[in-house]
Chain A
Amino acid sequence: MADSGTATLDYEPLAEGGLRLVLKGTLNAAGIQQLWRQAMRQVAQSDPAALEIDARGVESLDAAGMALLLELKAQQEQRRQDFRIRGLRDDLSDLMKLFDPGPPAPPKPGPGLLVRFVHRVGEISHGVLVGFHTQVNFLGEIFVRLLSVLVRPSRLRWADTFLIAEKAGANAVGIVALMGFLIGLILAFQSAIGMRKFGAEIYVADLVVLVLFRELGPLITAFILTSRSGSAFAAELGTMKVNEEVDALVTMGVDPVQFLALPRLVAAICVMPLLTLFNELFGLIGCGLVMRSFGFPVATYIDQIQEAASLGDLFGGLAKTFVFGGLIAGIGCLRGLQTGKSPSAVGDSATRAVVSGIVAIVVVDGVFAVMYYYLGI
């Protein structure tokens, strides 16, 4: 007999295309390891009309051993062929009945690959369109509320708004300034490579200040605000949704959009231009450092900046940031309020807030670029 802890497998052909597997020893996870493949291969090769398991020598059986027997049984049943187990101890066979899940459900004949593909494409496009529709709807609705706050400022929860502005704005100054500084520095160095060929290093200042004011300052600040605060808004509101706090607000007669989304919207719209200014200021400092290392005096650099950029460039860029701030908060809050019920729902909402926030920012930035082009700004 086999040692304890090991299992052995033998097979002998039976009459009329049958097969007998003789299992002995301890059928546990350790013992089954090599047996599993061996048994499956043997059964697959001989495709027996009847499979008989001789289990007289089985000393014990755990979940792994049962899985082997039940899998063989299921396979035979699927091929509509016979299966029987001989000589398994009564206690073990009772145990196995408890775990036998029965024949697996036959796979449903699904539609063909092409149909599935078309179906899926349609489903996704529909989802995107519906998502876009709700986003625009929500942003419109929240914008109307914003106007009503302008008419009656007392309707806004100012204490909350200040707290949120502090978290989203004041606490972000460090990272916004650091990013601005590094971007200004890197941009100056990179553009100097090209400019140097023409001996035109002084124009690095022109390039950096224009790019910062018109595009990079607002964009980078918006990305930072999306990832810091857009996601936070979605997570905060999502958690409240999961905890039924949003439902509680509704049954108290409080409008969740007014109560939760509006303060965040106002806060984001207020801090976004200020953060952008910080970002651009530090970008110019970074660029100035590089210019200084090329040997230009600070006064020359400042003169050059003043010459290159107009107030129109600065304010054109800043005008965008109000819209970005509104988008970030609006999308963050919408994603939060859309949060589902699963355990990962809050995380999903935060992710979706960042992704749709960034996409929306870039798209809107493109719209502004076209608009400014025609307006000649």
Chain B
Amino acid sequence: MGSDAPPIIQVSDVTVGYDHHIVLKDVTFEVRAGEVFCILGGSGCGKSTLLKHMIGLHRPMAGSILVDGTDIVTAEGEERRALLGRIGVAYQNGALFGSMSLIENICMVLEEFTSLPRQAMQAIARMKMKVVGLQDAGDRMPSELSGGMRKRAAIARALALDPKILFLDEPSAGLDPITAAQLDELIVELSQTLRITFVIVTHELASIFAVADRVIMLDKERQTIIARGSPEELRDRSDDPWVRQFFHRQSSSA
């Protein structure tokens, strides 16, 4: 799907890092509207860092990042806010607000971007909870949830504003295989029914083949993208020893 759709995110010659140490250099890729795009790589190679730059939390050291027509690096004020209203983010460990129930967590986002009556917000929040299968957990606090529920709640909150693009940081990490598979199904379903573009950081081979249209693979030593294409292409045709090891070692054990 979306193989010749227009690009919705364009990352051009981007260098990212912290203070004076560089994590990734000269990274260029684009994400097409409607596709499920995965960022792969070993731990500590800069996947989360890249993701956080794509959503404008940090400024890249060089290069430009265009998200849905807006330069997220330079956008400020209303323009930036409008863009933030069109994207949703589910963080690696959920990042739900611990002092609020799940419904309140979702309402908070709505409060910030809309001026709907309270009742309407709660109704919307309950709908989002239903989408991720948590319709009965709305009044629970984040600390009372299992890991899988927390990840799904984070996705529900990310869906609050009907985003065009959803960023997920390791959605299935630390989940048992069955819960992880359910999460993959949810992603595919959302992608097909709501036509949301997904950018997913992951290193679960099973979920890459289940959801991804295209992937890029990062490497810690080389500090850049070492492979790109569909998961099948990478598995069958890559010459890079690292990529081969990633796809073959894991797939034999999966």
- Interfacial residues, chain A to chain B (CB-CB below 8 A): 240, 243-245, 247-248, 250-254
Contacts and interface: CB of A to CB of B under 8 A. Distances in A.
A251 B57 contact: yes
Interface string B91-132: 111111110000000001100110000000000000000000
A320 to B, nearest CB: 32
B81 A244 contact: no
A254 B112 contact: yes
Given A244-B91, A244-B92, A247-B57, A253 B112 contact: yes
A324 to B, nearest CB: 27
A102 B168 CA distance: 42
B95 A243 contact: yes
Interface stretch (B82-90, B213-221, B238-246): B82-90
Contact of B84 (A240, A243, A247, A251): A251
Interface string B52-65: 10011100000000
Chain B interface mostly = mixed
A69 B4 CA distance: 64
A240 B93 CA distance: 11
A89 to B, nearest CB: 33
Given A251-B87, A252-B84, A252-B108, A243 B55 contact: no
A18 B91 CA distance: 63
Contact of A244 (B56, B93, B98, B109): B93
Chain B interface extent, by class? 20 to 34
Contacts of B112: 252-254
B135 to A, nearest CB: 22
A250 B89 CA distance: 11
Contacts of B87: 251
Given A244-B91, A250-B57, A254-B112, 11 more contacts: A240-B98, A243-B94, A245-B96, A245-B97, A245-B98, A248-B95, A251-B56, A252-B113, A253-B85, A253-B112, A253-B113
B84 A245 contact: no
Contacts of B94: 243
A220 B55 CA distance: 45
Nearest to B154: A248
Contacts of B113: 252-253
Contacts of A250: 57
A248 B89 contact: yes
A366 B196 CA distance: 59
A115 to B, nearest CB: 21
Contacts of A243: 93-95, 98
Contacts of A248: 89, 91, 95, 97
Contacts of A244: 91-93, 95
Contacts of B81: 253
Contacts of A251: 55-57, 84, 87, 89
B85 A247 contact: no
